Amino acid sequence: MASYFENGSDALVPDALQGFALAHADLVTLDPGHGFLLARDTAPARRVALLSGGGAGHEPMHAGYVGRGMLDAACPGRVFASPHNRQIYEASLAAARPGGVLHIVKNYTGDRINFGIAAERLAHRGVPCARVLVDDDLASDSGEVATGRRGTGGTVLVEKILGAAADAGAGLDDLQRLGSRLAARCRTLAVASAAHTSPTLGEPAFRLGPDEIEYGVGIHGERARRTAEKGPLGPLVERMTGELLAALAPEPGCTLLTLVNGLGAVTPLELYAVHGELVRVLGAHGLAPARCLVGDYATALDMRGFSLTLLVAEPSDLAHYDAPVHTAALRW
């Protein structure tokens, strides 16, 4: 396994942000001092700014979702490290609208602390601020884990729907309620057959045998509670989907959003094969995706794995999901 193409491990994120801002100058501006991206223009009816952030290494999340119909701003930290609270505070001030700022936060201790400090400072400045916490990772759903479930790929679906609701003029409380309802009905499970390359060591972050997978891996290479045998794809997707359905208990005929998400080094061939199996398994449960995404939406550097996300939506959410979006990574 080789290391990254970069000018040095400290340079990779700032270099990437500059390149991103150059490639998408029609959509975003970069504040190079504080290290955040700001949407160039969003809907005039939007009263509340949406801001997200987290460690880098999960691209296109979140920078790729800044733009029309989705996020007003994104704060990337260093690779797999929370953004600094000053960065979040400055980005929130720059993005804030009359109705305030909504922080969409993946559930990790560092992110919670830094977004929390920024929110306190914003309150002192009189900027209304609320938080949606996304905690969709079923693999970390255990009474033993005091911090609760991790936030992963489901964040993309939450951000898309909130973006359209914000464009429609929803206020801070309504957005907070909507986001929390979506997060509560969203679960994700991830597997990997090879770890990501550690950016500092240039080595795989962990090692698996040729027929092993990490079943329930986290997007920072958090080891799963169990290493499983790999086996063919069909039974694997059946098992993953079965556990997600057991956790969510969706009614037949419900409005289901699905995301088959590559974690970095998995091919589109594999992801589409996973989607085919997912549709088959859901069908056997009397379910079908109302909308689906297949691709690299929330990665873990070059991890060789994929995640499955199910979100049980309300039929009324579909209009928000379908509303136009124009960002670097999501566009319709």
The active-site residue out of 58, 84, 275, 320 is 58
User: Amino acid identity, residue 146?
Assistant: A
Which tokens belong to 302? 């070059």
Site string for its own copies, 29-58 (x = CB under 8 A): ---------------------------xx-
- Residue 84 a catalytic site member: no
Residue 208 vs 247, nearer CB to its own copies: 208
Among positions 75-104, residues that touch its own copies (CB under 8 A) are: 79
204: helix, coil or strand?
strand
Q: Which of 268, 284, 285, 322 binds its own copies (CB under 8 A)?
A: 268
Q: Is the peptide bond before 58 cis (omega within 30 degrees of 0)?
A: no
What is the rounded CA–CA span in Å between residue 324 and residue 172? 21
Q: Which of 32, 225, 246, 272 binds its own copies (CB under 8 A)?
A: 272
Using the rule CB under 8 A, is 8 a contact of its own copies? yes
Tell me how far apart the alpha carbons of residues 269 and 259 are, in angstroms, rounded to a whole number.
Answer: 15
SS (H, E, C) 201-269: CCCECCCCCCCEEEECCCCCCCCCCEEEECCCHHHHHHHHHHHHHHHHCCCCCCEEEEEEEECECCCHH
Of 4 and 181, which has the nearer Cβ to its own copies? 4
Residue that has been written with the tokens 């290290």 in this structure: 35
Give the number of residues in contact with its own copies, rule: CB under 8 A: 61
- Return the residue of 27, 71, 130, 236 that touches its own copies, per CB under 8 A: 236
What DSSP element (H or E) covers 200? none
| Nearer to its own copies (CB atom), residue 128 or residue 276 | 276
For residue 39 the two structure tokens come to 């949407």
Tokens of 319: 């209009």
Position among 208, 247, 248, 254 found at the interface with its own copies (CB under 8 A): 208
Whether 275 is catalytic is no
Residues 6+ apart with CB under 8 A from 283: none
- By the rule CB under 8 A, 22 interacts with its own copies: yes
Residue 144: count other Cβ atoms within 10 Å of its Cβ: 6
Interacting residues with its own copies (CB under 8 A): 1-8, 11-13, 15-20, 22-23, 56-57, 59-60, 64, 79, 193-194, 202, 208, 210, 213, 230, 232-234, 236, 264-277, 279, 292, 294, 296, 299, 301-302, 304, 306, 331-332
Active site residues: 58, 220
